[in-house]
């Protein structure tokens, strides 16, 4: 594609090293587990991070770099690497992508809008993939970074491109327009998303329309026509149910499908889609408008509209049989999405064995030998231990995979038929299911998934990362971040949460007990881990698994020193000194400082890694005076200890509430706990955070109860009139306590809050659903927002932390990542 010399010229950069190195791919994440030969690493500098810090991790694997500063020991690097130095690496990447786009003279569809961008993009791909070789944005790559990375994937084989463009503030769209240069523009909808970045709706609308400056044709759906200039309107097809000049719509809904009657100019088209929700109808009509603007009659595509598949905007991670982990991504199967899924697979360090089950590929217009040879290369680069191919095409090309461990099957049914003989292959494996929708990999997922409770706790890892980054933005560049994953990460699952935290580069983890730390080490978590409640019988695990104990008293300190003296001969072992500044739970008293210094100074066996304390009331403004006294006491203790020891010690006292309310007390590190899961200390902070956990179940049975009859144990629930009740499989053994019974709490069915009736049983409870049109098997939401979680805590006279940690382990956990 390019040489590193070309990159320097196109980016107006200074080249250091050989100019002949090829550049065939682009990457910005040093944590990426697979490296395409000829990759260029772009060292981005953001408010939260600096890619230059991670160059050393890439040495030997990557040989081409786009940077704004050269690394130390540049001469050593230049023996086998080359650097292009620019003032701003993101701006240089965007400039390079704009040049790359200008080399292609094909239809390019640029999509923007408040909602529906990714669905419209993926549905256009489903509709047109048999007619074009399509380059499209991976996932939701629509940002200032995602767009150039998407456009740089264009190559000579492509005959159509579809790119998303998303913005959150003025000035962004002009940059994306210069990169995408769409020939056809699509405005999917206009709503309130990202309003906070603009002075008002008019500014946001005018900014989004900048994408279409050079587009010859446009499609707009749900955009106010009166706000669009005549110049733009003349080349636009507007979609409106009452339109006389655009596309007029009539919809006929049945139980599982919608018939669309569309009229445009002199054409009338009838399409049927397998969805009934308003959003799907809206997006399908937008796709029909795009076909018309491409010069295609949507009637020719009626069969494909009828087969449109839901778009998975997130990956699901589930617990599988034989101690395996299952990653579901079985909605499409093209090389681009496979590469992304393999990278996600390699981020999961909980199992050492990697298995991929993959279907025939959806890449039309590409020679099959070339296609499956590229798939083989991806599998080798990702170091996949076993690939299972399903479908006639991949079966016919199995000879291309001779260097890998493989199994092949004609179809999904054939795999299921032979599954019993191959179950042991999935022992302790992370299994990626990556298949085209038509292969029905849901059947394989159900086969591999560990059967458990009908109640599910969903943990949204994207929301978790969003919340961590919210708090990170409040820290200085030198302040470290410790994340609390004790109590199975507030009920969310320690190893899964820790894997995500490790991937985004937090500095420390903390657990309550050593066995929690052992579990993380066995899940390949490499971060430093502090054990907050070490016990004497856990010293061997602490030492053997490189865990770092909290030392809070002279007795626990002497116990640990005695153990080390008899069983340890390595470097000084890291420990964390806890001081009690007013919480009066654990910790040395401030008056203990001199004897503590004497004891620590007298032993070579340990090194004080940090000194810390715990704020008792950081979230309570009425007690700020006490909190400030704690901070002052801690500062005096910590600086005295550090001075006496003669080396630097990490100092930390702020918890989630302290991070937000006491920035002067961030010191060297802060500890993030409940805030990570979406619980803020103020209404303003609550609005900035996203809820991480969603607890749902389903209706087991529906009954009619006559007036005067009773419900549940001890006949505590009495029907005042004839009512309808639903039994749901969630009880006090699952973390839905008895205190919520007899109408004291509500769950949500079809968006309506409905109260409990009768006592909560061990494994189930009853809900009054009178007046709701629902069926057995319908979803029941226990909580899915921070407000609902806080309300449940309020009804239990407790805090959200206790609600989350009280959810039983027998409730199935599912991890989703968009």
- What distance in Å separates the CA atoms of residue 60 and residue 743, rounded to the nearest whole number? 64
Coil, helix or strand at residue 752: strand
* Nearest residue to 484 (alpha-carbon basis) of 470, 464, 463: 464
- Residue given tokens 């682009």 in the structure block: 26
Q: Which helix (H) or strand (E) covers residue 165, if one does?
A: none
Catalytic residue among 513, 563, 568, 713: 713
Work out whether strand 353-359 and strand 456-460 pair parallel, antiparallel, or are unpaired: unpaired
- What distance in Å separates the CA atoms of residue 75 and residue 84, rounded to the nearest whole number? 14
- What distance in Å separates the CA atoms of residue 218 and residue 241, rounded to the nearest whole number? 18
Q: Which parts of 401-529 fold into alpha helices (H)?
A: 412-418, 442-448, 461-472, 486-491, 494-503, 514-522
- Residue given tokens 């598949």 in the structure block: 309
Work out whether strand 752-755 and strand 650-652 pair parallel, antiparallel, or are unpaired: unpaired
Q: How many Cβ atoms are within 10 Å of 367's Cβ, its own excluded?
A: 10
Contacts of 643 (CB under 8 A, 6+ apart): none
In the numeric block, which tokens belong to residue 158? Answer: 């492509």
Work out whether strand 39-42 and strand 64-67 pair parallel, antiparallel, or are unpaired: parallel
Angle at 202 between CA 197 and CA 203, to 5 degrees: 40
Residue 310: phi and psi, rounded to 5, are -60, 145
CA torsion, points 512, 517, 523, 527, in degrees to nearest 10?
100
Q: What percentage of the chain's residues is helix, strand, coil (to nearest 5)? A: 40, 25, 40
**Chain centroid offset of residue 621 CA:** 33
Contact call for residues 786 and 679 (beta carbons, < 8 A): yes
Work out whether strand 669-672 and strand 480-484 pair parallel, antiparallel, or are unpaired: parallel
Residue 209: phi and psi, rounded to 5, are -70, -20
486 a catalytic residue? yes
CA torsion, points 689, 690, 692, 696, in degrees to nearest 10?
140
Catalytic residue among 486, 490, 508, 578: 486
**CA atoms in the 13 A half-sphere facing the CB of 719:** 20
Coil, helix or strand at residue 532: coil
Contact call for residues 605 and 590 (beta carbons, < 8 A): no
Catalytic residue positions, numbered: 486, 713
């Amino acid at each position: 594609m390019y040489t590193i010399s070309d990159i320097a010229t196109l980016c107006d950069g200074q080249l250091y090293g050989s100019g002949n190195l090829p550049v065939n791919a682009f990457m910005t994440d040093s944590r990426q587990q697979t490296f395409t030969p000829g990759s260029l690493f772009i060292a981005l500098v953001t408010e939260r991070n600096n890619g230059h810090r991670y160059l050393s991790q890439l040495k030997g694997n990557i040989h081409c770099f786009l940077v704004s500063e050269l690394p130390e020991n540049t001469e050593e690097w230049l023996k086998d690497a080359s650097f292009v130095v620019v003032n701003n690496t993101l701006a240089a990447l965007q400039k390079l992508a704009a040049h790359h786009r200008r080399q292609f003279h094909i239809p390019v569809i640029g999509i923007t809008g408040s909602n529906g961008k990714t669905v419209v993009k993926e549905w256009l791909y489903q509709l047109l993939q048999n007619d074009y070789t399509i380059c499209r944005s991976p996932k939701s790559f629509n940002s200032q970074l995602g767009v150039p990375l998407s456009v740089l994937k264009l190559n000579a084989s492509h005959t159509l491109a579809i790119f998303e463009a998303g913005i959150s503030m003025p000035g962004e769209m002009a940059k994306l327009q210069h990169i995408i240069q769409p020939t056809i523009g699509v405005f999917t909808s206009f709503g309130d998303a990202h309003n906070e970045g603009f002075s008002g709706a008019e500014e946001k609308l005018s900014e989004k329309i900048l994408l279409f400056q050079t587009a010859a044709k446009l499609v707009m759906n749900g955009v106010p026509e009166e706000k669009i200039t005549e110049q733009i309107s003349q080349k636009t097809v507007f979609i409106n149910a009452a339109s006389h000049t655009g596309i007029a719509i009539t919809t006929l809904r049945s139980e599982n499908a919608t018939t669309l009657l569309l009229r445009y100019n002199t054409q009338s088209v009838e399409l049927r889609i397998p969805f009934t929700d308003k959003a799907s109808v809206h997006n399908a009509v937008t796709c029909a408008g795009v076909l018309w603007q491409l010069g295609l009659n949507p009637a020719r595509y009626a069969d494909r509209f009828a087969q449109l598949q839901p778009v998975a905007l997130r990956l699901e991670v589930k617990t599988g049989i034989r101690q395996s982990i299952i990653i579901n991504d079985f909605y499409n199967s093209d090389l681009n999405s496979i590469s992304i899924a393999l990278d996600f697979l390699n981020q999961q360090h909980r199992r050492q064995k990697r298995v991929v089950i993959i279907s025939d590929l959806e890449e039309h217009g590409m020679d099959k030998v070339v296609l499956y040879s590229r798939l083989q290369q991806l599998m080798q680069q990702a170091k996949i231990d076993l690939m299972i191919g399903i479908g006639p095409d991949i079966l016919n090309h199995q000879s291309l995979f001779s260097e890998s461990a493989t199994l092949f099957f004609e179809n999904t049914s054939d795999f299921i038929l032979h599954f019993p003989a191959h179950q042991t292959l999935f022992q302790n494996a992370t299994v990626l299911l990556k298949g085209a929708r038509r292969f029905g990999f849901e059947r394989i997922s159900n086969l591999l998934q560990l059967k458990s409770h009908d109640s599910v706790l969903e943990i949204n890892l994207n929301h978790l990362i969003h919340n961590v980054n919210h708090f990170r933005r409040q820290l200085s560049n030198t302040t470290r971040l410790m994340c609390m994953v004790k109590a199975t990460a507030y009920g969310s699952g320690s190893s899964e949460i820790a894997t995500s935290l490790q991937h985004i580069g937090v500095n420390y983890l903390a657990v309550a007990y050593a066995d929690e730390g052992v579990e993380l080490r066995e899940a390949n978590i490499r971060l430093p881990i502090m054990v907050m409640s070490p016990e004497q019988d856990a010293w061997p695990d602490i030492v053997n698994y490189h865990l770092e104990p909290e030392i809070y008293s002279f007795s626990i300190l002497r116990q640990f020193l005695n153990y080390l003296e008899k069983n340890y001969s390595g470097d000084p072992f890291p420990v964390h000194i806890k001081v009690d500044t007013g919480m009066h739970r654990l910790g040395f008293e401030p008056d203990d400082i001199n004897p503590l210094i004497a004891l620590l100074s007298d032993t070579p066996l340990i090194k004080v890694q940090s000194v810390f304390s715990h704020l008792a009331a950081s979230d309570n403004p009425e007690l700020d005076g006490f909190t400030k006294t704690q901070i002052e006491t801690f500062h005096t203790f910590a600086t005295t200890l550090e001075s006496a020891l003669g080396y630097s010690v990490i100092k930390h006292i702020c918890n989630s509430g302290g991070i937000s309310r006491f920035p002067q007390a961030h010191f060297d590190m802060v500890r993030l706990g409940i805030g990570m899961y979406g619980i803020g200390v103020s209404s303003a902070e609550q609005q900035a955070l996203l809820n991480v956990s969603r607890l749902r179940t389903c209706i087991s049975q529906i009954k009619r109860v006559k007036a005067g009859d009773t419900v549940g144990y001890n006949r505590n629930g009495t029907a005042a009139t004839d009512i309808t009740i639903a039994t749901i499989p969630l009880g006090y053994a699952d973390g839905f306590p008895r205190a919520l019974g007899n109408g004291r709490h509500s769950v949500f069915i079809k968006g309506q809050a409905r109260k409990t009736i009768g006592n909560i049983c061990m494994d189930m409870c009853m809900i009054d659903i009178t007046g709701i049109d629902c069926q057995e098997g319908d979803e029941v939401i226990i909580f899915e927002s921070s407000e609902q979680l806080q309300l449940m805590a309020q009804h239990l006279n407790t805090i959200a932390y206790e609600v989350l940690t009280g959810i039983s382990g027998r409730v199935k956990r599912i991890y989703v990542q968009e």
